[in-house]
Amino acid sequence: MNQRVEKIRRLLRELEAELATGPRTESPAHSSSDLALVVQQIVDDLQPLLTPYDAAFYWFLFRHSIAKDSRPFLRVSTRRLSRAVVRSSYSQAEEPVISLGKVQETIRALESVGAIRKEGEPNREGTLYRVMVPDEIEACRQFRAERIIAEPELRFPSSGIEIN
């Protein structure tokens, strides 16, 4: 029985490693023009659905996954996120970190909107997440459709400047 359990654990570790170093083709953002469109969609379709903390955490995860190497997978720990994303303005500590509870709450909020998806179990390096782009997030697609119908006149005019 122990050998079977160890074999399952080994296979799970291999799968997690494969997900973490998966092919670049798994993300819709491949070229700089695709990345620019994804950033526009994040600003227009995802960010209005998020709180400021949620948005800051999403941008951090996006920057260290898709924007870094076009791979949507990222392993992070709550401890790292509490120090790396934003600083608490309420803390009087020398290093004003965000509480672990707030980090966990923010991760849950991002998961509930569909902006990230847990892809593996936690280990010493953290939990493996897949960072989703707006076209993969149902709430963003719905928000975009509602916005286009409700506010067709809210289009920004062209600047009139032509770049050759």
Residues 25-78: tens digit of each pLDDT = 444 555 666 888 888 889 989 999 999 989 999 999 999 999 998 889 999 998
pTM tops 0.85: no
Query: What is the pLDDT at residue 2?
Result: 82
Query: What is the pLDDT at residue 159?
Result: 56
Distance of alpha carbon 154 from alpha carbon 23, whole angstroms: 38
* 163 located within any domain: no
Domain count, the chain: 1
Angle between helices 52-63 and 100-113 (to 10 degrees): 80
Query: What is the pLDDT at residue 79?
Result: 87
Higher pLDDT, 92 or 24: 92
* 39 located within any domain: yes
CATH number of the domain encompassing residue 68: 1.10.10.10
Its domain, for residue 132, covers 31-150
Bridge partners for 75 per DSSP: 128
* 160 located within any domain: no
* 1 located within any domain: no
> Any idea what the Cα angle at residue 101 is, between residues 97 and 104, rounded to 5°?
105
* 13 located within any domain: no
* 69 located within any domain: yes
